[in-house]
Amino acid sequence: MTETVNASASGTWTLGDLTVNRLGYGTMRLALRADGGTGDRDTAIAVLRRAVELGVNHIDTAAFYFNPRLSANELINTALRPYPEDLVIVTKVGPGRDPSGGFLPQARPEQLRGQVEENLRQLGRDHLDVVNLRIGDGLERGEGSLADRFGALAELREAGMIRHLGISNVGLAHLDEAQAIAPVVCVQNQYGLAVRREDDELVRICAERGIAFVPFFSVASGADEEPVDVVARDHGVSPAQVRLAWTLHQGPNVLAIPGTANLAHLEANVAAGSLRLSEKDLARLAGISWLDGHNPAESA
């Protein structure tokens, strides 16, 4: 791995006409910690500013990332505005939360404009770079048609409120349906070395169509197993860095948005963008069992 830590070492991809480094940053953990606790505001602001210093120019967020004391969008606004010219902020709509934090049903098409306007207000923007329509609840893959909701966002794109559109928590049928309505620049699904590997084919199809595939929970997915530990020891890195490097290795269109509220973890995540896995490493990792389907290595 290189001594100088910078997200540019991960390579670049384009979201429509916006170029981003493939190693980005997800803000969910700034407001929604895995242990249910509330983070520190000053630390969160420092993490965001350090991410940009390290070359991160792709930040993932949502208006529903908040706890009683902290809002991810407000933290982004405070830490980074006025925004660097090359910074791309990607948000998502569909789910919602009431002021007390309770999750609301999926937004109806006519409610999506309000969610877009909420993100605009919180971020202090006159347009949103990329908006993902997220369907389904929790980590369950969304089902049914997204045409009405995606069509509503396409109208907001035509009105200039949104620059580019993506979809989240979806399958190939959803991608086909969305592309028939408006251009899709990214697909954001749960995916990682040991989980949701049924999306291997969707990753490939997205690459063929010039669409970014953006996994979430790619580091947290699955327990570390011996092959991950062995590869990590061989390179002198952490298992989490190996998982991130594996994620980026899945294709030039695959981006990573690991989230953390810890400065040291942030630097380690960005450093993983320069970690190159050998064929031997990849062969070792191919034997790991995974969830929600069969291991493709078994039928190769």
Active site residues: 65
Joined together, the tokens standing for residue 53 give: 């210093």
Determine which helix (DSSP H) or strand (DSSP E) holds 263, and give its type and residue range. helix 263-271
As given in the structure block, the two tokens for residue 110 are 């006519």
**Cis peptide preceding 68, ω within 30 of 0:** no
Q: Phi and psi (nearest 5°) for 120?
A: -60, -45
- Dihedral, CA atoms, 167, 170, 173, 176, nearest 10 degrees? 20
Torsion angles phi and psi, residue 146, rounded to 5: -110, 10
Nearest in space to 132 (alpha carbons), one of 102, 95, 158, 98: 95
Give the Å distances, CA to CA, from 175 to 35, 58, 110, 266: 33, 22, 21, 31
CA distance linking residue 262 with residue 1, whole number of Å: 21
User: Distance between the two ends of the chain, CA-based, in angstroms?
Assistant: 31
Which of these, 107, 70, 73, 108, lies nearest to 90 by C-alpha position? 73
